[in-house]
Amino acid sequence: MSFTILPGQFSRRGEFYYQLAQLSTTGIGLPQAVDLLLAHPPAGSYRLPLRHLRAHLAAGEGFADSLARLGNWTPPFDIALIRAGEQSGRLDTVFKLLAEYYRERAVLLRRTYSDLAYPVFLFHFAMALFPFVAWFQNGDTLGFLRQTLGLFLPLYAVVFAMVYAGQGARGAAWRATLEGLLHPLPVLGSARRNLALARLSMALDALLNAGVGIIEAWELAAAASGSPALVRTVGGWRPHLLAGESPSAQVSSSRAFPPVFASLYHTGEISGQLEDTLRRLYAYYQEEGTRKLRQITTAGPRIVYFGVALLVAVKVIGFYAGRMLELNQVINQL
């Protein structure tokens, strides 16, 4: 995966899975499907990974294992679901789920960038306006660069550091630190937790339907959630589950799972309708997480607008205050 996070990346990933879903539904085998995709890939950057993928499939490896051999090109969440789909014979369904998942992420990210484009431009304009006026008056290029780049470069560094930290390929310790920093945030932290629970529910449903044992299914689903906190929590369940305790008891006693999740999971477990319950949980938490992210994309530009307006007001007041001080000094000298 590349360093940046762009909507096009998610769109191309979604198109990749959508084409696989369409080809699998028509009965075309995966090696042939990869050959067709190689002839018409979602993007030129997909040609080399698809060639390696075709070589691994030709060697007799499974599709999930072949993707895993490509390194960080495929997220662990995708591989866990695809492996479950292979075992259950529901690969076409898994491909459709992943295609929709990445389509939604692309739409949300595109909306976020669109909403922030003008506030970001306005911020740069406001911060460079007064240094530019000063440069135009005194010609101090070094001072102009110091005032503008001295502010912008540290901000760019912080933004790129946040983007880097958010990449799924980062180490578990790094991602755990990022999760701990974002967890207390009222909306963003809640959105991340909801989306992690949605991914866990989707993966757990696919794994259990594939016939994977309950202990391994929970551990793989926790890994697919992308949340280090859930991985740690579920990783400590194995002795209790081996001793005969139910997963619902562990869920209920864990602070990592909200009461709604614990209640619905317990009901699904004792009623024998766990598959339907997990799908409901996925739909619920996916919608909640997406809704909260939309709140951020709506409120973010407004905050930027307010900050820029406040900054401009401070600059204008400071500018005129300085001119008035100079005028008073001139008058006093007369």
Residue with structure tokens 């406040």? 310
264 or 315: which leads in pLDDT: 264
Question: What is the average pLDDT across 148-175?
Answer: 70
Predicted pLDDT at 3: 41
CB 217 within 8 A of CB 207: yes
**96-126: pLDDT as tens digits:** 888 987 887 788 778 777 777 777 777 787 7
Distance CA 128, CA 130 (A): 6
Report the percent of the chain where pLDDT is more than 90.
Answer: 31
Predicted pLDDT at 202: 84
Residue 174 reports pLDDT greater than 70 = no
Predicted pLDDT at 170: 52
58-67, 110-119, 170-179: which range is least confident on average? 170-179
**230-259: pLDDT as tens digits:** 999 999 999 999 999 999 999 999 999 999
| Mean predicted lDDT score pLDDT of the chain | 83
**239 to each of 234, 235, 236, how far by Cα in Å?**
11, 9, 7
85 or 122: which leads in pLDDT: 85
Distance CA 23, CA 4 (A): 30
Residue 168 reports pLDDT greater than 60 = no
Predicted pLDDT at 225: 84
CB 109 within 8 A of CB 20: no
Predicted pLDDT at 178: 63
Predicted pLDDT at 126: 73
Question: What is the average pLDDT across 81-106?
Answer: 84
Q: Which fold has domain 7-99?
A: Receptor-associated Protein (1.20.81)
**256-290: pLDDT as tens digits:** 999 999 999 999 999 989 989 999 999 999 889 88
Give CB contacts under 8 A, 24+ apart, made by 41-50: 42/12, 42/13, 42/15, 42/16, 43/8, 43/12, 46/12, 46/16, 49/73
**286-300: pLDDT as tens digits:** 889 888 877 776 776
CA atoms in the 13 A half-sphere facing the CB of 192 = 20
Residue 1 reports pLDDT greater than 50 = no
Question: What is the average pLDDT across 73-93?
Answer: 82
Predicted pLDDT at 56: 94
Q: With 0.75 as the threshold, say if the pTM is over it.
A: no
CB 311 within 8 A of CB 128: no
Residue spans per domain, the chain:
7-99
**How many Cβ atoms sit within 10 Å of the Cβ of residue 170?**
15
CB 252 within 8 A of CB 237: no
114 or 217: which leads in pLDDT: 217
**pLDDT bracket for residue 14 (50, 70, 90):** very high
